[in-house]
Amino acid sequence: MRIVTCGQCQKMIHAFDHPSDACLFCGAATSSAIPREAPSGGPPLAHADPALLEAIDQAIGKGQFLGEKAAKGMALEALERAPLCGELYWRLLLADCQVNMDAKLLHIGRPVSEMPGFMSAMRHAGHAEPVYTAIDDAHERLHKAFSATLPGWEREDIQAQKPKEHLTALSAQLQEAVAESRKWHAALDEAEKGLEEASRDFWVAAGEYRAALEQIHQYAEALETPEMISEEEAQKGADYLERLQKSADSQMQSLERLKREHPSAVIFGELTREKAEIISRLTEIASRMDQIKANAAAEADKMDRIAANYARARAALEDKDYSQAMMVAGAQRTAALFASTLRGDLNG
Ligand SMILES: [Zn+2]
């Protein structure tokens, strides 16, 4: 970590040795930065052991932040020997926040001035002071920008959900389903009525055959228990029984034919099939209505979630913290806001 002047925006910044490091203001790679001569006002690295400094920077670069053998432990060790070194406090701050470059401090969302070690670094800043204050100022500008932009994002997000259109469409679907359901219920009533009529007609027609069959049955019963005297009489009885049997057979056949061919029986069969069809339609409509209601509930949930997230973001912003605002904004809008705010500062 060194203090350099950015070759592009001319700001004083910390440059780190990892290849992804870039100027937090203009985005230029720090490899293009110009090392700066320490001006008067006290060197911020006074008395710090160069080898230990190098080890701390290596650990920070590798993401080894906490622990005795990591950046934090080594920074504390170095501070014991050089307690007036602002740049050591800054390294301690990076280790505590577990970030490997200054730009990432701004992505935490909390004010940099409230981070552990910042005040100590400031107290012993020396010529590094503009670097520290510029980062704290950057947080403040970002906080303002997030506060100003948040309401617009909220409108955008709610608009993107098109809640009105969705709910209107769902309500139209529901009305349609209700109307359809009514129509099929009426059809069901009709079918029931038709079935009742057909069944009545049929039984009137079948009644004739049933009566005839019953009579035959009675004759046959009467014949089975007589005391026959002569063979002739017995033969007569047997003949009669046979005729009864034939008559009964023919009555049965007629009844079967009636069942198949009587108009009311045919209507009965048709209506029974129709009724089954109507019931399956009604079942389908009922499940469609359930789905519409579930969709409407999900829609309302989604809106509630968006509103709750924005409420959280607003509350955090009041506390100078824009981390929640970054979350509702998403990566793309956050990156754009960072770029416009931090670079906009250079123009203004
Ligand atoms: Zn720059």
Specify the CATH number for the domain of residue 243.
1.10.287
Residue 306 domain-assigned (yes or no): yes
Strands 12-15 and 34-35: unpaired
Centre of ligand 1 to C-alpha 334, Å, is 19
Helices (H) and strands (E) counted in the chain, each on its own, are: 10, 3
- Report pLDDT for 218: 85
Look at residue 300 in the predicted model and tell me its pLDDT. 87
Task: With respect to residue 242, please indicate whether it lies within any of the assigned structural domains.
Answer: yes
Say if residue 30 is in the same domain as residue 106: yes
Instruction: Give the range of the structural domain holding residue 260, as residue numbers without chain letter.
Output: 162-318
Distance (Å) from CA 89 to ligand 1 centroid: 23
Q: Which of 47, 44, 96 is nearest to 71 (CA)?
A: 96
Cα-to-centroid distance, 60 and ligand 1 (Å): 22
**166 and 280 within one domain:** yes
Cα(10) to ligand 1 centroid in Å equals: 6
Q: In what order do the strands lie in the sheet with 34-35?
A: 12-15, 2-5, 34-35
| Number of folded domains that form the chain | 2
Give the pLDDT score at 338: 96
Q: Are residues 166 and 132 in the same domain?
A: no
Domain-embedded: residue 12: yes
Which of helix, strand or coil describes residue 42? coil
Please indicate, yes or no, whether residues 174 and 291 belong to a single structural domain of this protein: yes
> Is the domain of 273 the same as that of 182?
yes
Structural domain contains residue 343 = no
Give a yes or no: residue 323 inside a domain.
no
Does one domain contain both 193 and 259? yes
Residue 22 is given by DSSP the state B
d(CA 124, CA 264): 106
pLDDT along the chain (348 residues), means of 10: 89 87 89 65 62 92 90 94 90 96 95 93 92 96 97 92 81 90 92 89 84 84 69 80 86 86 87 93 93 89 93 97 97 96 68
Please choose, from the candidates 38, 20, 37, 42, the residue with its C-alpha nearest in 3D space to the C-alpha of residue 29.
Answer: 20
Give CA–CA dist 85/74, Å, rounded: 14
Same domain, 216 and 75: no
Distance 105 CA to ligand 1 centre (A): 16
Torsion of CA 199, 201, 203, 205, to 10 degrees: -150
Q: Which ranges of the chain does DSSP label H, i.e. alpha helix? A: 50-62, 71-81, 86-97, 102-105, 118-123, 129-161, 163-224, 231-261, 263-318, 323-347
Q: Is residue 26 part of a domain?
A: yes
